[in-house]
Amino acid sequence: KAGVTQTPRYLIKTRGQQVTLSCSPISGHRSVSWYQQTPGQGLQFLFEYFSETQRNKGNFPGRFSGRQFSNSRSEMNVSTLELGDSALYLCASSSTGTGNTIYFGEGSWLTVV
Amino acid sequence: KNEVEQSPQNLTAQEGEFITINCSYSVGISALHWLQQHPGGGIVSLFMLSSGKKKHGRLIATINIQEKHSSLHITASHPRDSAVYICAVYSGGGADGLTFGKGTHLIIQP
- What confidence category does residue B108 fall into, taking pLDDT thresholds of 50, 70 and 90? very high
- What confidence category does residue A27 fall into, taking pLDDT thresholds of 50, 70 and 90? very high
The C-alpha atoms of residue B35 and residue B43 are separated, in whole angstroms, by 7
Higher pLDDT, B69 or A98: B69
Instruction: Give the residue from A26, A41, A42 showing the smallest Cα distance to A102.
Output: A26
- What confidence category does residue B39 fall into, taking pLDDT thresholds of 50, 70 and 90? confident
pLDDT at A1 over 70: no
The C-alpha atoms of residue A78 and residue A63 are separated, in whole angstroms, by 5
Nearest to B41 among A48, A92, A106 (CB): A106
- CB contact under 8 Å between A99 and B43, yes or no, is no
Which residues does chain B have within 8 Å of residue A42's beta carbon, measured at their own beta carbons? Answer: 100-103
- CB contact under 8 Å between A48 and B100, yes or no, is no
Q: Does B24 touch chain A (CB under 8 A)?
A: no
Assess contact for B48 and B30: CB atoms under 8 A.
no
Q: Does B103 touch chain A (CB under 8 A)?
A: yes
pLDDT of residue B37: 96
